[in-house]
Amino acid sequence: MDKICKKIYMIPVLCILSVMLTSCGNKPIQAPVYNDEVEPADEVQYFAIVSNIDEVNGKILLRSVGYSSELELAYTGGADVKDKYGDIMPMSNVELGSVVDAVYDASRNKLISLQLSGNELLEKKEGVSGAEIDYLEKTVRIDGKTYKMSNNTSAYSDNTEIGLDEICSEDQLSVWIYNNVVCSFNVELGHGYVKLVDYASYIGGMVEIGYDVIVPVTEDMLLTVREGTYTLRIAKGGDSGTKQVKVEKNKEQTVSLADIAIEPKEMGSILFHVTPSDAAVYVDRIRVNTEGAVSLVYGKHRLDIVKDGYETLSGTITVKAPYKVKNYTLTETGATTESSTSASSDTTASSSHTSTTTEKTTEADGTTETADGSDDTTSNGSKTSNKVTVSAPLGASVYLDGEFLGVAPISFTKVTGSHMITLSQTGYLSKTYTVTFTDDGKDDTLSYDELVSISSLLE
């Protein structure tokens, strides 16, 4: 009986062993093999510009300094990220455009370490204002010093790469420079737009706002201003007013000047009788049309009467009556006859010889004109015989240095120098581009991308 029991007990044990040694297909189970040897990293050093950081997917894009090659690497929390002093910093604190010394594993395309470079030939300028970028010569002038730009010089704003021509003179920048060549720009403070309304009484005056925006007041103007809060100052003659304005990046702010509009002043009319009749008459350095009576504000005004071959008559004129006739006769150059003026006691004028071909006077539209009527220069450059056409985006309002030109497609006279072209359209974000024109005898055509719809940003 005991032998029978022993056999019965042994049967389950044998079954269990059989199951353990076989699978469903009666194949033996393979014992796992572990390899304790880890393949060493293929470490490569990389002197590069940080072009993009994708924190969601743990990717970083590096662009070689001085070359066009790019490298995308994976990174994890284990990556060693440091500032130039060797202190640990989070990847989120690394600005696009930063020049770094990176080490990566070439066999795995994985970042091992990254440090803001301390190379002795490398310089980072921060808080740069008024950088003068010449896109034709590929140079940048900062604080009186000129640096070169390469074909790989890049620009960044709001963690996105932008075109170099999207940098505006109103922007505040940080600039990375290696061996006197600009590697990258990063926009620290960008720009927005200020559109004035209810300002008719100030046309012909001056408006000041922001970092360095001081321009004549013209119709339908749109001002490009660095983001921030400012006091807008506007003045014409002895009248002025101020407004507080907050400028937001890439946004357009409409400012009404109705509450500081200039009150109407008492006016008088002067009818000028001048001999010779084709002499040019300037009141307060602005040429006036003497075919009819000229309306002037009560008070004193500067008077200049100019003609080639005659001595210039200059002096002051006082307006204190609703209507008055003034008679003036110029003296031919070299003649001894005294010039005659009106007998009115409120007029003071003197004759003085002035070169009428070089004297400059300011016109009502803000341009400067020589006394002989030529009009070849402006405050921003010299006019050429060529045209610039902005062909796109269709339907966008086009502004040159803040002055409204018309709706694209639009053509205008080419003026040499650096200028800002601003595009604006209802329902879209305004955009400013910087351009440089030279007197090269050629017409230029500029075509820009479509503006970004505001509604698309809200979706």
Question: Over the stretch 245-283, which tens digit does the pLDDT of each residue have?
Answer: 999 999 999 999 999 998 877 888 999 999 999 999 999
Asked whether the predicted pLDDT for residue 345 surpasses 70, the reply is no
Residues 187-205: b if buried by 16+ CB within 10 A, e if exposed: bbbbbbbbbbeebebbeeb
Name, in order, each residue with C-beta under 8 angstroms of 232's C-beta and a sequence gap of 6 or more: 194, 207, 208, 209, 242, 243, 244, 245, 255
Half-sphere exposure of 323 (CA within 13 A, CB side): 2
Label residue 39 by pLDDT band (50, 70, 90).
Answer: low
Q: Which CATH class is domain 43-116?
A: mainly beta
Looking at residue 79, its pLDDT comes to 84
Q: Which CATH class is domain 378-457?
A: mainly beta
Per DSSP, the residues of 162-176 read E-GGG--TT-EEEEE
The alpha carbon of 41 is separated from its chain's Cα centroid by a whole number of angstroms, namely 45
Looking at residue 76, its pLDDT comes to 86
Q: Is 69 exposed, middle or buried (0-12, 13-18, 19+ CB in 10 A)?
A: exposed
Question: Over the stretch 95-129, which tens digit does the pLDDT of each residue have?
Answer: 999 999 999 999 999 999 999 999 999 999 999 99
Q: What are the residue boundaries of the structural domains of the chain, listed by start?
A: 43-116, 122-189, 191-260, 267-370, 378-457
Q: pLDDT: is 182 or 404 the higher one?
A: 182
Looking at residue 346, its pLDDT comes to 45
Asked whether the predicted pLDDT for residue 34 surpasses 80, the reply is no
Q: What is the mean pLDDT of the chain?
A: 82
Looking at residue 379, its pLDDT comes to 57
**Residue 29 DSSP code:** P
Q: What is the mean predicted confidence (pLDDT) over 323-327? A: 90
Looking at residue 364, its pLDDT comes to 33
Q: Report d(CA 112, CA 109) in Å as an integer.
A: 9
Q: Report d(CA 303, CA 288) in Å as an integer.
A: 10
Looking at residue 49, its pLDDT comes to 96
Q: Name the least confident of 50-64, 359-373, 403-417.
A: 359-373
* Token output for 223: 């001002």
Asked whether the predicted pLDDT for residue 375 surpasses 70, the reply is no
Looking at residue 20, its pLDDT comes to 42
Asked whether the predicted pLDDT for residue 422 surpasses 60, the reply is yes
What fold, for 122-189? OB fold (Dihydrolipoamide Acetyltransferase, E2P) (2.40.50)
What fold, for 267-370? Immunoglobulin-like (2.60.40)
Looking at residue 40, its pLDDT comes to 73
Question: Over the stretch 138-193, which tens digit does the pLDDT of each residue have?
Answer: 999 999 999 999 988 999 999 999 999 999 989 999 999 999 999 999 999 999 99
Looking at residue 348, its pLDDT comes to 45
- Percent of the chain beyond pLDDT 70? 81
Name, in order, each residue with C-beta under 8 angstroms of 271's C-beta and a sequence gap of 6 or more: 292, 293, 294, 323, 324, 325, 326
Looking at residue 457, its pLDDT comes to 73
The dihedral formed by the CA atoms of 106, 111, 112 and 115, expressed in degrees to the nearest 10: 120
Asked whether the predicted pLDDT for residue 343 surpasses 90, the reply is no
Q: pLDDT: is 356 or 243 the higher one?
A: 243
Q: Which of 263-267, 340-344, 424-428 has the highest mean pLDDT?
A: 424-428
Looking at residue 377, its pLDDT comes to 54
Q: Is 336 exposed, middle or buried (0-12, 13-18, 19+ CB in 10 A)?
A: exposed
Asked whether the predicted pLDDT for residue 3 surpasses 60, the reply is no
Label residue 77 by pLDDT band (50, 70, 90).
Answer: confident
CATH architecture designation of domain 191-260: Sandwich (2.60)
Contact 454, 427 (CB under 8 A): yes
Label residue 360 by pLDDT band (50, 70, 90).
Answer: very low
Looking at residue 298, its pLDDT comes to 87
Q: pLDDT: is 39 or 366 the higher one?
A: 39
**Residue 449 DSSP code:** P
Cα separation values, 238 from 181, 201, 317, 368, Å: 48, 13, 17, 22
Q: Do domains 43-116 and 267-370 have the same CATH topology?
A: no
**Residue 258 DSSP code:** G
Looking at residue 265, its pLDDT comes to 77
Beta carbons within 10 angstroms of residue 225's beta carbon: 22
Looking at residue 78, its pLDDT comes to 79
Looking at residue 378, its pLDDT comes to 57
Q: Report d(CA 220, CA 193) in Å as an integer.
A: 13
